[in-house]
Amino acid sequence: MTPIQKCIVEKKSNLNPIWLMRQAGRYLPEFREIRSKNQDFIKLCLSENLASEITLQPIERFNFDAAIIFSDILMLPYGLNQKVEFEKNFGPKLGNLNLDDLKNIDEVDFSFKLNSVYKAINITSNKINRDEKDLIGFVGAPWTILVYMINKISPKKKLKEDFFKDEFLINRLLSIIDKFLKIHIKNQVEAGATIIQIFDSWAGLLENNIPEYIYIPTLSLVEYTKSLGVPVICFPRGIKDYKNFCDIVKPSAVNIDYDIDPKDIVKNIDIPIQGGLDPKILLQDEDTLEKETKKYLNIFKDHPYIFNLGHGIQPQTKIEMVEKLVKTVRSFN
């Protein structure tokens, strides 16, 4: 069993496995080199050999305990025939939504469109030592996918007032999203993903109706993933009440964000915990990094804990700082 599986399944503490959210990406010079020759980001995600190579880059460099497949949460709307583009220094831009088009998509069309993602997982799965390392597949949570499909760009701090105006559209979309996220999860697991992480990057935007848009739709995916025999890690970024989230949604593990006090969490939540360290700490000096890293390791020393960040690693992060982080975690006892 891998260290992460021991931590999640057997609830062992003191193992401190480590991987980093967004580890396969922009801060790595070897990624930037591939990216500079591949302007179309979606096409790059769908080039199975390159996607697998990028997935393994951070493993080769830092020997992390898990690889996370190089893909994107927005492959879901792409698979549903909504246009998805990534503009430099801006982020994602989605095309118009047409419910009639969405209704015509079936499981076969969808899986065919995303087939290269599954092939990339399969190629990667055959290249890693599966007794030692996990291969993480992932999806966006229904709420975050809904936000992107309706808002079409990353929201700022608040949703537009008319976001919820078309109740019929929202309800139809949520049911389509649930169906195809499950297909996407199943395909990733069948291709070799050993853990699924659900990214709810915009959970913090919601103040009301959290059961309706977060708990219930996420619970549906968590139960489905568990039924496939695979652990599921949730990251409800910015949600106020992590304890309530865990009590209701019952993920196999939960990733906390950097606004959360880890001391409160360790007292109140008994499922395995992942993450927490503010990715901006990696932009400071080595001593601060060591101190902050040890703070998390000490707080979680008697709790099943997977070391990770409280959000994705920043693009400006220096390689030496990641090396320092890994060394601090690996030598802690």
Interaction site with ligand CP3 (CB under 6 A): 21-26, 35, 41, 68, 70-74, 86, 91-92, 138, 154, 199, 201, 312
Q: How far apart are CA 70 and CA 55, in angstroms?
A: 5
Q: How far is the CB of 60 from ligand CP3 (least distance, A)?
A: 14
Q: b/e string for 175-211 if b means 16 or more Cβ within 10 A?
A: ebbbebbbbbbbbbbebbbbbbbbbbbbbebbeeebe
Q: How far is the CB of 260 from ligand CP3 (least distance, A)?
A: 15
User: By C-beta, is 70 or 242 nearer to ligand CP3?
Assistant: 70
Provide φ and ψ at 222, rounded to 5°: -65, -45
Measuring CA to CA, which residue among 267, 265, 182, 259 is closest to residue 226?
A: 182
Q: How far apart are CA 325 and CA 215, in angstroms?
A: 33
User: By C-beta, is 50 or 299 nearer to ligand CP3?
Assistant: 50
Q: How far is the CB of 36 from ligand CP3 (least distance, A)?
A: 9
Q: How far is the CB of 202 from ligand CP3 (least distance, A)?
A: 7
User: By C-beta, is 33 or 247 nearer to ligand CP3?
Assistant: 33
Q: How far is the CB of 191 from ligand CP3 (least distance, A)?
A: 15
Q: How far is the CB of 210 from ligand CP3 (least distance, A)?
A: 18
The pairs formed by 86-94 with CB atoms below 8 angstroms and a separation of 24 or more are 86/41, 86/42, 90/153, 91/153, 91/154, 92/148, 92/153, 92/154, 93/152, 93/153, 94/148, 94/149, 94/152, 94/153
Q: How far is the CB of 73 from ligand CP3 (least distance, A)?
A: 4
User: By C-beta, is 222 or 266 nearer to ligand CP3?
Assistant: 222
User: By C-beta, is 266 or 307 nearer to ligand CP3?
Assistant: 307
Q: How far is the CB of 21 from ligand CP3 (least distance, A)?
A: 6
Phi-psi region of 242 (alpha: psi -120 to 50; beta: other; left: phi over 0): alpha
Q: Specify whether the CB–CB gap between 143 and 213 falls below 8 A.
A: yes
Q: Which two tokens stand for residue 77?
A: 């709307």
Measuring CA to CA, which residue among 186, 202, 306 is closest to residue 253?
A: 306
User: By C-beta, is 22 or 303 nearer to ligand CP3?
Assistant: 22
User: By C-beta, is 70 or 118 nearer to ligand CP3?
Assistant: 70
First to last CA, the chain: 21
State the DSSP H helix or E strand holding residue 83, giving kind and residue range, or none if neither: none
User: By C-beta, is 91 or 95 nearer to ligand CP3?
Assistant: 91
State the DSSP H helix or E strand holding residue 239, giving kind and residue range, or none if neither: none
